[in-house]
């Protein structure tokens, strides 16, 4: 199936942006107050930084130079309380102490900002990870089949970290930049209107240029992130299938394939780096021209006596502070573009519709199972199943035989509601109740399913067997392992049931993994049991023992066995044969082996092999 990621388009409409904003607010739950605290102390730090040039200006022009004060009345009142500018000129240590005091307050504010910001960002990341994991766990089986695992992991790691970095470092900087911008311009205009106009003249052009360039950067970041998802998917796929790669000597081919993909990914980032380099260098040129103009015109005004020396020094300090938000704005817009792409990619996951597990009723799961005129296809123009009619009596055993791609596993996925059966495409019922009307969680709790490819977690054998039934006792685990003919293998391990099986059960053989998966299903003690070609890796003797244990232990359960092995199906009450999604044969195994159909052909081939081997 194709990955939906390639169809993912940017959403720039207002509705989508509001949706992303609401999603971000949802993630900020529990950290908003900390971020607000961080913003407030960041503002205090910026305010303290703005005070120092005024203290320096007052020291040079008023305390030392003796010039009349041009400060507001409330400032002059504070100075008079301290003894006046003449007294401060004789005791400059007081003004130096004021600089130290302001610096101390700023240090405390910076420390508090950093502390609260760090705590808030960690809470944000935790909320994002928890929300994503919980949501992904509840997404439909079909969604997971349409999206690469590596790409999902990349969205849940790299994209989450990108948003954390933006919120913690950039979003809070917006307020600091605003304070720098507003207060710098305020103090500059209060000191000299003409020079302030010179300083402010390039700002609109720089702002327009930044906003214009942001769209181009956002498109580049989107392509880079999507390609990184493909690289992550390739790595995940190769690490998972490393034994297959080694077995077929495919290292060189896979390495070349990965290097080509990685080279393409690197090239995209090089192109993006060029875009960002042009943008940042242009911003620096604009900023440099602005500083040059202020320096030249300010020097001219000072030489003419139109601006006092202290005021000129203070003005230059404020202009340097003004250049910081201008430069920072460009980098912030770049980070905003990248964070916007990451938020969009995470929103794709969070906006995906969760499966409704609790709607519907409970029903008698021991009743007859009926497939009535069922048709289904993974793609709109191609059916895997066509007009399938099968009836399975409650408590009986059904065997399903068919070639690869005939729809055997698809039937079981439909029965378990892994894929929804659309209206008008037939009906599947249990005990007379359409499974569309049955609660999905209840249905799956009462259907024990051993998949065609058994999956074991990186845990102990006991944990893997008991995972389907929380709180299960060790005795019940060992009992299930015994019925699955796994006990003898486990006893041969040094740590027994506590043996760690490794990623995807890599330390176990194919037959041992299948038997562990069967034991896991047996712990459910479900009224319906499905074995999807899950005995293919065990020998005939073990196969017979497992089937005998099933018959003894679950005599009243409805059992469905999918297999290519005739001996596995020989004890079934009924066997259906599928071919290209249609039922072409149906009946008791003893009848079918002489009916002249596919079942008889396979029976004679396998019987001939068994005779020859004997």
**Where along the chain do its domains lie?**
14-351
Helix (H) or strand (E) holding 585: strand 582-587
pLDDT tens digit string along 439-470? 999 998 899 888 877 888 888 888 888 888 88
d(CA 287, CA 324): 9
Position 133 confidence tier, pLDDT thresholds 50, 70, 90: very high
Report the DSSP pairing between strands 427-430 and 369-376: antiparallel
Instruction: Give the pair of three-digit tokens for residue 123.
Output: 């809470």
Q: Residues 412, 589: contact at Cβ < 8 Å?
A: no
Mean pLDDT score of the chain? 81
CB 315, CB 227: distance < 8 Å: no
Q: What percent of the chain has pLDDT over 70?
A: 90
pTM: 0.71
Q: With contact defined as beta carbons under 8 Å apart, do 543 and 567 qualify?
A: yes
Asked if 213 and 279 touch (Cβ cutoff 8 Å), the reply is yes
Mind spelling out the 3-state secondary structure of 111-144? HHHHHHHHHHHHHHHHHHHHHHHHHHHCCCHHHH
Q: What is the number of other CB atoms lying within 10 angstroms of the CB of residue 305? A: 7
CATH 1.10.10.10 for domain 14-351, yes or no, is no
**pLDDT at 271 exceeding the cut of 60:** yes
* pLDDT over 90 at 66, yes or no: no
Mean pLDDT of 233-249: 72
Where do the DSSP E strands lie in 29-70? none
Are 409 and 452 contacting, i.e. CB atoms less than 8 angstroms apart? yes
Q: Which is more confidently placed, 28 or 2?
A: 28
């Amino acid at each position: 199936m194709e990955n939906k990621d390639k169809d993912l388009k940017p959403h720039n409409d207002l509705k989508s942006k509001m949706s992303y904003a609401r999603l971000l607010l949802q993630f900020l739950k529990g950290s908003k107050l900390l971020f607000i605290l961080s913003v407030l102390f960041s503002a205090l730090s910026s305010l303290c930084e703005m005070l120092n040039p005024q203290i320096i200006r007052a020291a040079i022009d008023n305390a030392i130079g003796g010039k009349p004060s041009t400060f507001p009345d409330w400032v002059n009142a504070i100075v008079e309380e301290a003894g006046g500018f003449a007294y401060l000129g004789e005791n400059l240590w007081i003004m130096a102490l004021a600089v130290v005091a302001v610096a101390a307050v700023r240090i405390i504010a910076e420390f508090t900002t950093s502390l609260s910001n760090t705590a808030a960002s960690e809470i944000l990341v935790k909320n994002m990870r928890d929300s994503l994991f919980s949501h992904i766990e509840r997404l439909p089986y079909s969604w997971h089949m349409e999206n690469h695992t590596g790409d999902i992991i990349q969205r849940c790691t790299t994209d989450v970290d990108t948003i954390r970095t933006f919120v913690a470092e950039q979003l809070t900087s917006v307020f600091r930049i605003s304070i720098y911008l507003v207060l710098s311009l305020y103090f500059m205009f209060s000191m000299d209107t003409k020079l302030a106009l010179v300083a402010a003249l390039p700002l609109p052009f720089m702002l327009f240029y930044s906003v214009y360039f942001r769209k181009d950067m956002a498109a580049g970041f989107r392509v880079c992130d999507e390609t990184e998802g493909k690289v992550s998917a390739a790595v995940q796929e190769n690490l998972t299938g490393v034994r297959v790669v080694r077995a077929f000597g495919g290292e060189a081919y896979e390495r070349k394939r990965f290097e080509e993909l990685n080279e393409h990914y690197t090239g995209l980032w090089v192109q993006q780096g060029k875009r960002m380099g042009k943008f940042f260098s242009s911003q620096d040129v604009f900023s440099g021209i602005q500083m040059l103009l202020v320096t030249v015109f300010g020097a001219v005004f000072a030489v003419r006596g139109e601006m006092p020396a202290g005021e000129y020094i203070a003005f230059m300090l404020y202009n340097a502070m003004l250049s910081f938000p201008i430069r920072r704005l460009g980098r912030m817009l770049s980070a905003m573009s990248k964070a916007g792409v990451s938020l969009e990619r995470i929103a794709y996951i969070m906006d995906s519709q969760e499966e409704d597990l609790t709607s519907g009723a409970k029903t008698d799961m021991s009743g007859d199972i009926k497939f009535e005129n069922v048709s289904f296809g993974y793609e709109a123009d191609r059916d895997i199943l066509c007009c399938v009619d099968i009836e399975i009596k409650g408590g009986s055993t059904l065997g399903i035989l068919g070639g690869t791609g005939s729809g055997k596993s698809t039937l079981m996925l439909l029965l378990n509601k892994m894929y929804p059966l659309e209206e008008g495409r037939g009906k599947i019922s249990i005990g007379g109740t359409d499974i569309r009307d049955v609660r999905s969680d209840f249905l799956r709790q009462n259907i024990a399913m051993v998949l065609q490819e058994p999956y074991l977690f990186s845990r102990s054998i006991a944990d893997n067997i008991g995972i389907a039934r929380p709180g299960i006792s060790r005795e019940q685990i060992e009992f299930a392992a015994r019925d699955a003919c796994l006990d003898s293998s486990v006893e041969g391990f040094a740590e027994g049931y506590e043996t760690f099986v490794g990623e995807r059960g890599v330390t176990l053989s194919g037959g041992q993994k299948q038997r562990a998966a069967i034991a896991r299903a047996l712990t459910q003690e479900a009224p319906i049991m499905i074995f999807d070609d899950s005995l293919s890796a065990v020998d005939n003797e073990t196969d017979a023992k497992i089937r005998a244990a099933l018959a003894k232990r679950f005599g009243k359960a409805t059992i469905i066995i999918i297999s290519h092995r005739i001996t596995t199906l020989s004890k079934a009450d009924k066997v259906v044969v599928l071919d290209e999604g249609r039922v072409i044969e149906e009946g008791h195994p003893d009848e079918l082996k002489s009916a002249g159909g596919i079942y008889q052909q396979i029976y004679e081939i396998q019987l001939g092999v068994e005779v020859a081997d004997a």
